[in-house]
A and B are shown apart, each in its own frame.
Chain A
Amino acid sequence: MKVRLENLTKKFEEVTAVNDATLEFLEGKLTGLLGPSGCGKSTTLYLIAGLFKATSGKIFFDDEDVTRKEPEKRGIGLVFQNYALYPHMTAEQNIMFPLQNLKVPKKEARKRALDMAKLVHISELLNRKPGQMSGGQQQRVAIARALVKEPRILLLDEPLSNLDARLRLEMREEIKRIQRETGVTTIFVTHDQEEAMSISDQIAIMNEGLLQQVASPQEMYRNPVNEFVAKFLGNPPINIIETEIKGGKVDAGGFLMNTGTLPDQPVHVGVRPESFRLDANGSVKAVVQAMEYTGRETLLFAYLGEKLCKVIINADIIFKKGDSVSLSLKEKSMLLFDLEGNRLYV
């Protein structure tokens, strides 16, 4: 099932939580809805779920306009941040609950609940109540409950944020697996860019109610439409060097770039930390301020001119403060933004 938003707007009194969003969620794929807290992503999710009513604009499931439909008629499964399991029911009762709403015969409901429990690997926990389960286990029950009625769309609202780091990684994989196995169109809300990148087939990024960009993770990372997206994706974050275009050229901490026909103007140049290369012949010398060694790679804090930048290198070399390194840049790795943050294409 495709989900399409058309000029969707949601206002809460004076605040516009979602502003004129138009976007399509791919059928059978997992779309990450990403953005900082308060950007309107959860609101968008609740609009899709039908828990909020749109101020204007439309929501389509395939070609069906569901904008005015009640949530229970939309055929969706929703997993909440706090899982929202019913505390007085066992895991099994929780999973069966939606089926009972649909008046599915008890026998069948139980069978489907068991199947679902198997899918999310909690078969042995069915008689426990939420209070007796760990966060990860509750999460699985919540997913099972959302999926048991075979929804057309699965919506996940920051489902991993209440888990500790290790469990989060594990559950991330689980969600991916379950989504693949079921093939259900899934929308996953998160504020964690890494999570979104690793799990999503497609990412929609939002800020202050406005949809910024919709693209595959790679495309979005490599080719952000604006400075916000560029900054939001990537860890460590992109280096932003404030400089200006002068005579068709820009100088960012010593790295030069032709800007073609772009007029002279102050700009922000974004360079991803991993775009640097240690290069004995490198055109630019940087002065090391500090370094962090993570085992897989090394992160240098180094001055490019006056700008302290983060530089990721793969080499297993120990640097000291004050060491000088020469760097070069990978092809096309400089991103130009104007002062409004819009991408300037060369």
Chain B
Amino acid sequence: MKNVYKIITYILLAAGAVIMLFPFFWMITGSLKTYNQITATPIVWWPVPAQWNNYTTALEYAPFDIYFINTVIVSVGTTVSVLITSIFAAFAFSRLKFRGRDTIFSILLSTLMIPSQILIITNYVTVAVRMQLMDTLLALIIPFTASIFYIYLLREFFNQIPEQLYLAAKVDGTSDWRYLWKIMVPNAKNALITIGLFNFIASWNAYIWPLLLTNSESKRVLSIGLKYFSGEAGTDYELLMAAGTIVIAPLLVIYLFFRRYIVEGVARSGIKG
């Protein structure tokens, strides 16, 4: 009986894993096919010979090396700032008692419900016209230096750090500032890494805003590069998939590196809901 359970579990999990991974498989094999092989019947599972030149062709369409560097700068920039602003805000919401705390928090939470697509026109004016940041990497970072969603997540985590630690630190003569950095932050390490990764991934994939706020190739990011492969009457699927693979490959590496923290961090942040 026990073995039957085991076998069923393995079969179900394996089937699930195939479902989860199949789109990746399709994208990666697709990036090695010819244009016609992608839509061919019967299905071409593994292209022989593999069209490695799709990658070289895709890379020629746009300066992906510059894009890559910019994407790293922007992703790291937003991630570091999001972490800092979230740490401050989550600390205030979880440890400091102040008038209007719940009201402010509810208002912030409710803004999660706005479809962000309708905000960008106004934000364009703010950043490009008022702040005069058009065509700078800073413009790609500034609007994303704070995130309600991550403040919410981090607050959940901070709330789980026993309040007594805070009181103990107070009695020990610790300032709020020092407490935050010496006690809260080290204890929330996993959550912070997870939030950082979430934000990094989101920033890495961001498309419309970077496009709006940049004109020079020297200021653009990877996801804009994906747009080169779709025309008004068709799409170069094989090149798009190659470019898509190029874009997510760094994320894949980062993910495998930080995997342990993601699982733990999500866990913690989810526990209290």
Contacts and interface: CB of A to CB of B under 8 A. Distances in A.
The answer to whether A and B interact is yes
A145 B186 contact: no
A86 B171 contact: no
Nearest to B164: A84
A84 B186 contact: no
A49 interface: yes
Nearest to B170: A71
A84 B170 contact: no
A87 interface: yes
Interface string B181-194: 01100110100000
B187 A88 contact: yes
B173 interface: yes
Contact of B173 (A51, A86, A102): A102
A82 B162 contact: yes
Contact of B171 (A76, A82, A88): A76
A101 B174 contact: yes
Contacts of B170: 50-51, 70-72
B101 interface: no
A80 interface: yes
A149 interface: yes
B168 A72 contact: no
Contacts of A77: 171
Contact of A101 (B164, B167, B172, B187): B172
Given A82-B162, A84-B164, A86-B165, A71 B171 contact: yes
Contacts of A81: 164
Interface string A71-98: 1110011101110101110000000011
Given A84-B162, A84-B164, A84-B167, A72 B187 contact: no
Interface in B148-179: 162, 164-165, 167-175, 178
A2 B171 CA distance: 19
B247 to A, nearest CB: 36
Q: Is the interface of B mostly helix, strand, loop or mixed?
A: helix
A190 to B, nearest CB: 17
B162 A72 contact: no
B164 A149 contact: no
Nearest to A81: B164
Contacts of A46: 167
A98 B187 CA distance: 18
B162 A101 contact: no
Interface residues of B, number: 18
B173 A84 contact: no
B173 A72 contact: yes
Interface residues of A, number: 25
Given A82-B162, A84-B162, A88-B187, A72 B174 contact: yes
Contacts of B162: 82, 84
A84 B178 contact: no
Interface string B242-254: 0000000000000
Given A101-B173, A101-B174, A86 B167 contact: no
A101 B171 CA distance: 11
Contacts of A76: 171
Nearest to A98: B172
A88 to B, nearest CB: 4
Contacts of B174: 72, 97-98, 101
Contact of B168 (A50, A78, A102): A78
B173 A78 contact: no
Given A84-B164, A84-B168, A86-B165, A149 B173 contact: yes
Contacts of A70: 170
B167 A80 contact: yes
A338 to B, nearest CB: 41
Given A88-B187, A101-B178, A82 B164 contact: yes
B179 to A, nearest CB: 10
Contacts of B173: 71-73, 98, 101-102, 149
Contacts of B178: 101
A145 B172 contact: yes
A81 B162 CA distance: 12
A325 B34 CA distance: 106
A147 to B, nearest CB: 11
B167 A78 contact: yes
The 10 A-B residue pairs whose C-beta atoms are closest, nearest first, are A72-B173, A98-B172, A84-B168, A84-B164, A101-B173, A78-B171, A88-B186, A80-B164, A71-B170, A71-B171
Interface of A: 46, 49-51, 70-73, 76-78, 80-82, 84, 86-88, 97-98, 101-102, 145-146, 149
Interface of B: 162, 164-165, 167-175, 178, 182-183, 186-187, 189
Given A70-B170, A81-B164, A145-B168, 12 more contacts: A49-B167, A71-B170, A71-B173, A72-B171, A72-B173, A82-B164, A98-B174, A101-B172, A101-B173, A101-B178, A102-B173, A149-B173
